Structure 1
C-alpha cells in the first residue's frame, strides 16, 4: 500500500469553495499536493493515472475561477477526473476507486452534484454542455457550462456535430481543448500565453465588438472582408482557424501546467460577453511523475504500483488474455490470406490489433475514436473484395449501430466483427459492460453471431470468420484471461449454426452461450450429485440457432435452462421464440409440461466490482443455475416460467 503523502494545504480543501478562498500564490503548492495524492491513491487501487496527472493544474484552475457546481463542469470520457473528485468532497473515498461499493472511475451523476453529466465514452461533453448552456439561457438562470475535451476525443464526429451547433449557446459555453499529445498545438511559451491573455481580455473583446458592429453597417462585401481579416490575423498568430469557422472564439494555445498563464485567461473567458469560446490548453500526460511521463501508454491505465519505483503489480502467470488470443489467431489467418485486414477504433492494444499491426503494418488501421467510420470503412473494404475484421469493444460498437444495420446488414456485406469485452467487465462498471450485443445483433437479418466459450473456441471462430464470405459475422468474447485450455495447432472451421454437446443427461438440460459454459459444467456436477441427470450444450451460435439440437433438448428433458452473459432479448428470447413457433410450449410433450427458464443479465446497470462477484450478484454462476433448476422442479405448473434469480 502506498504511503500517504503530506498535504497540509490540500487537507483544508473539502469543496471548491474552500479552494476559491486561497490566494493565487498558494495554488502551485495545492496543485503539487493534489498530484501527490492522485499518485498515492492510484498506487493503492490501480486505475487511470497519466490522464489525471496531466490535468491537475487545469482542474485546480477551473474550480478556482468558475463557480462550480452552479457552473456546470463536464469532463469528456471522465478517466481524467480523479483530481476533480478529490477537490469536490470525495477525497475520503478516493482509495475506493473502481472497487465494489466505491467511487466510480468516471464521472457519475448519482455520486456528486459536481458531476452534472456522467461520461465514460468519449466525445459527449460539448453536446451535453450546449444543453446545459442553452437551458440556462432559455430560463434566464446564471451559470456557464464548461466542457473539457481531450484531443483524442476530437477524432469523433459527434464533437464536430456539437461544435457546429454551439453558436446558440452564446457566451454561456466554454470549451477547453486539452491537447495532451501535441497533435494539434505548435510550441507554446511566453509569447503565446501573452497573446492568449490579450485576446481574451474584456478590453480586446469590447473593442472587437465595437469594430464588428461598425463593420455590419458597411456594404456586405466590405463587412465580410473585415471579418475574414480578423480571423486570418488571429489565425496567423494563434491558430484555431477551424474552430473559428465552426463559430467559436479561439484562445490559445497556452501551457496547461502554468497556473500564472491559466488563471488570467480563464478569468477573462469567464467574464467575456463573446461566445462561445474555445480555450486550447497544452498538457502532458503523466505530468509530475517520471515513470508516467516517460511511458504514457503503459501508465494510462495501471495496476496497483509502488509509488517510489513506479513498478506495477504483476498479475500471476496464467492463461493468455482473450484479446491476445484473438490478435495472434488473426495474424495466423492473415499469413494465409492477403485479403484480411484489421480495423480498430483507438483500441489497438485493448483488442489485440497491435499484434496484427506489428506483423502487417500496411493492413492494420486505427481510425481513432470513430466507430461509425470504422464500420462503414469495413463495409467499403468488404464490398471491394477484402476480408475486414472490425475489432471493437461491445460497449463501443453500440455507437455505430446504424452503420451496422444500414451499411453492413442490409447490404449483406461480409464484415467480420470481433466484439471484445462482452459481458461484465469488473472495475470499469456499467459504462463499459458488453451487455447488449447479442440482443442488438441477433435481431438483424443476415447476421451470424457466435460466442466463444473459451480461448480455443475463439481460435476456431476466428478461422470460421475468415472463411465466411456469405454474410456479416460476429464473435463475442470477454475481458480478461482464458480458461487455460490448450490452443489448437490447426484451427477448425465450425459449421454455421451448429452447437456441441458437452455432457449427455436425461432430466435437466443447460443450454449455454459463451463463457458461462464453465459454470454450467460446475452446476451439472452439483446437480448430478443430487441425483439429477444433466445435459450441457455449448450452443456456440446465438444466430442461427441450432434448432435441431435445441428441439431435442427441450422435448427430452423435464427442465431446460438457457444461460448467457447478455441482457434480455438475447439467447433466451430466441430460444423461447423457437419453442413457441414449434408448438413446444403447449404442454403434453413431457409429463408435467415443459419447464423452460432463461438466465441472463438482470435488468439493471451493475456497478463496478470484481467480475466473479458481479456474476454472482447477477445470478449467473453455478450456484444460481442449481437454484434455478431446483426451483423449477418444485413447481407443478406447466408452460413457460422465465426469470433470473433476484
Structure 2
C-alpha cells in the first residue's frame, strides 16, 4: 500500500539529502520528485554544460535503484558514469551542481573523493560488468553475499568487447548473484549498431515474455523484461524480484534519452547527449564560438581528401559526430563504418581493410586509443599497414577530467616502430598533414587534434628539412630553440616575443610538423643553440620531448633539452586554458621556464607547483 504524501513546505528534492529518504516517499511524491529532478538538471546542466540527455533518461530508474538497494553497503556501479547525475543528487550533492565540471567543483562522472556512494571513477565504456564480477567474487570470498552488486550498463556500452567477456564470466557463475541492469534507449551517442541491437529490439517489441529464451538466458542469466524504465513502481518491483533470485540476473529496462525535455527528445542526432552552456528552452548554444573547432575543421578536410582519394574509408567507434565524421557520412555513406563501442575491433578491422587495398582512417578520442594500443602495435604497425588515426581530444580536454584527458598518446605512440605522428598547429596545416598522411603507404600515421577552437593561422618564415621556422630573433645570438607540439605553437610564439623584446633572449621557434620520428634536421638545429625547450600537452615521461632529447644524444648534440609537458599525475577537471596554465604550458609559463633555465630569477606561481608544475 502506498504511504500517505509527506507534509512539506519545500520541494521534495530539497528533502532528499540521502538515499534512505526515498523509502518513505509515496508514489505521488516520487512522481513529483522525478519532475523536480528533471527541472533541476535542465537548469544546472544547461548553465554549466555537461551530459544532459543520458541523465534525463535515467531519473525513474535511479530512484528505483536507490529504493531497492542500500548504497554504499550494496554496490551500484554505473558504466561510463555520464548518467550518474541523478545518483549524485540523491546522495547529498545537490548544492554542488552550480560548480559542475569546473576546477575544484563537482565532477561530471562518479568520483571516489566526492562520496562513499561512488565506486568507479573511470568513465570509459563497457567496464561496469567486469567491476561487478570482481566485486561479487570479493563478496563471495568474504562471506558477504547479502550485500548486493548491481551494474547499470547501456545498450550502447554492451557493444564493447569487455562487456561480452564479463557476461561470459558472470553467466557462468550461477552461485554468484549480480544484477545487470541494461538501460536500453537504443543509442549511445548515436543509434546502437550491430546484431545485439537487433536482438534487444526484438526483446523490446517481441512480446517480452520473461520466460523466453534469449541471448542472456543462454549465457546463464535469469531475464526480467522488458520493463518501462519511466515507471518507478514497475522498475522497483522487478528489481526486488531480481534481488531475491540469488543468481545472475539481467533486468532489461526501456528508457528514452532526453526524457521530459522537448529539445533533447527532438534532437534525434544525439538527444543533447553532452552540451556546453545552452538555452534551456531551445537547446541551442547561448553563444557562438569565435572560431570553428578542430573537430569541424577536420570533418571538412576529410571530405576534401576523400573526394580525391577513393581508397579512403573511415571507421568510428560509436562516435560519428563527436569525431567529425558526420560530413563524410553524408557525402560518402558507404565508406563510413560505425562498429559500436569497440575500439580494439575498430583498429584490427582497419588492418583488414588496409590488407584489402583501402586506406582506412580511424577517428577516435585520444583517451580511447589507449584501449586499442595492442591492436595498433601488433595488428597494424607490425604489418606496416597504411592506417591513419585521427586522435580527437588530444592533450588536456578540460571539464571531463582525468579519464578523458588525452595525455598519454605521445608517450605510448613514441614506442611504435614505423609510426609517423603529426600535430597540426592550425587548420591550414591540418589539411596539408591529413593529405600527406593518407598518401603514405608504408605504415601507420597519426594526426593529433585538441578539444578547442582551431584558432589563428600561423604562417612560417621558412621551411627547413621539412620543418617550419615560425620565429627567429633578429640580431641576437641563438640562445633558445623552442619546439612546440601542434597548437601549443601559439603559446610558444607569444613567449618568444616576450623573451626577445623584454629580456633580450634570442629565440627560434620550430614546428616539426611530423613529431615522430624525430626529424634529423631538428638535432642539427638544436646543436646551434644554447638551450632546447620542447613543449607538449602530454606527459613529460617518454613523450615528444624525451624523443627529441634521445635523438640529440644519438647525434652527439650536447645542447641541453628541457622537456615541458604535463606532470606524471592524473589531472583533475577544469578549463583547458586554466589547466594548461597550471602546468606551465601557457606563454607566461614558458617564459618563466626559459628564464629559470638561463639563470634569470622568475619564480613559478603556486598554481603551477600545485599541479606538478614545470621542471
Structure 1-normalised TM-score?
Answer: 0.85
Q: CA deviation at 1:272?
A: 2.0
1:441 to 405, 409, 413: 413
Per-residue deviation at 1:48? 0.8
Residue in 1 that maps onto 2:178: 173
2:559 paired with 1:578: no
Shift of 1:317: 4.4
Q: CA deviation at 1:426?
A: 1.1
**Equivalent residue in structure 2 for 1:468, among 411, 430, 440:** 440
Find the residue that maps to 1:515 and give its secondary structure: helix
1:632–1:408 Cα change, 3 Å = same
Give the match for residue 499 of structure 1: 467
Answer yes or no: is the 8 Å Cα contact 1:171–1:277 preserved in 2: no
Q: After superposition, where does 1:503-514 map in structure 2 within 5 Å? A: 503-505=471-473, 506-514=478-486
- Counterpart of 1:27 in structure 2 is 30
1:145 aligns with 2:110: no
From 624, 634, 641, the equivalent of 2:599 is 634
Q: CA deviation at 1:596?
A: 2.4
The CA distance in 2 between the partners of 1:105 and 1:170, in whole Å, is 35
Matched, 1:107 2:110: yes
Higher helix fraction: Structure 1 or Structure 2? Answer: 1
Q: How does 1:524-543 map to 2 (within 5 A)?
A: 524-529=496-501, 530-543=503-516
1:164 maps onto 2:168 in alignment: yes
- CA–CA distance in 2 between the matches of 1:606 and 1:465? 31
**Alpha-carbon contact 1:54-1:286 (below 8 Å) kept:** yes
CA contact under 8 A between 1:452 and 1:458: conserved in structure 2?
Answer: yes
> Post-superposition shift, 1:295?
1.3
* Counterpart in the other structure of 1:218: none
SS of residue paired to 2:486: coil
Partners of 1:439 and 1:155 lie apart in 2 by 29
Q: What is the SS of the residue equivalent to 1:63? A: helix
Distance 1:109 1:559 in 2: 43
The answer to whether the 8 A contact 2:315-2:360 is kept is yes
Question: 111, 114, 120: which one pairs with 2:123?
Answer: 120
Equivalent position SS for 2:173: helix
Matches within 5 A, 1:271-286: 271-273=244-246, 275-286=247-258
Aligned length: 575
Distance 1:15 1:317 in 2: 39
Which of 514, 517, 520 pairs up with 1:547? 520
CA deviation vs aligned residue, 1:4-32 (integer Å, no higher than 9, x gap): xx961111111111112334453222222
CA drift at 1:483? 1.2
Q: How far apart, in 2, do the equivalents of 1:298 and 1:126 lie?
A: 25
**Counterpart in 1 of 2:614?**
645
Instruction: Work out which of the two has the higher radius of gyration on C-alpha atoms and give 1 or 2.
Output: 1
Partner of 1:204: none
Q: CA deviation at 1:615?
A: 0.2
For the pair 1:520 / 2:520, whether they are aligned, the reply is no
**Equivalent residue for 2:568?**
603
Local SS of the residue matching 2:156: helix
Could you list the per-position Cα deviations for residues 266-303 of structure 1 after superposition, in whole angstroms to 9, with x for gaps in the alignment? 11112222x10000000001111122112141511122
TM-score, normalised by the number of residues in structure 2:
0.89
Residue 224 (structure 2) pairs with residue 255 (structure 1):
no
Matches of 1:408 and 1:423, distance apart in 2? 23
What secondary structure sits across from 2:538 in the alignment?
coil
Stretch moving more, 510-519 or 626-635: 626-635
- CA distance in structure 1 between the aligned counterparts of 2:291 and 2:459, rounded to whole angstroms: 10
Question: 2:205, 2:126 → 1: CA distance?
Answer: 28
**In the TM superposition, what is the alpha-carbon distance from 1:170 to its structure 2 partner?**
3.5
Equivalent-residue separation in structure 1 for 2:13 and 2:49 (angstroms): 22
Identify which range, 295-304 or 325-334, moves more after superposition.
Answer: 295-304
Aligned mates of 1:406, 1:604 — CA distance in 2:
28
Work out whether residues 503 and 534 of structure 1, in 8 Å CA contact, stay in contact via their aligned partners in 2: yes
Unaligned runs of 5+ in 2: 1-8, 188-196, 602-611
Quote the residue 1:16 is aligned against: 19
Decide which moves more: 102-111 or 32-41. 32-41
Contact map agreement 2:265 2:271 (CA 8 A) in 1: no
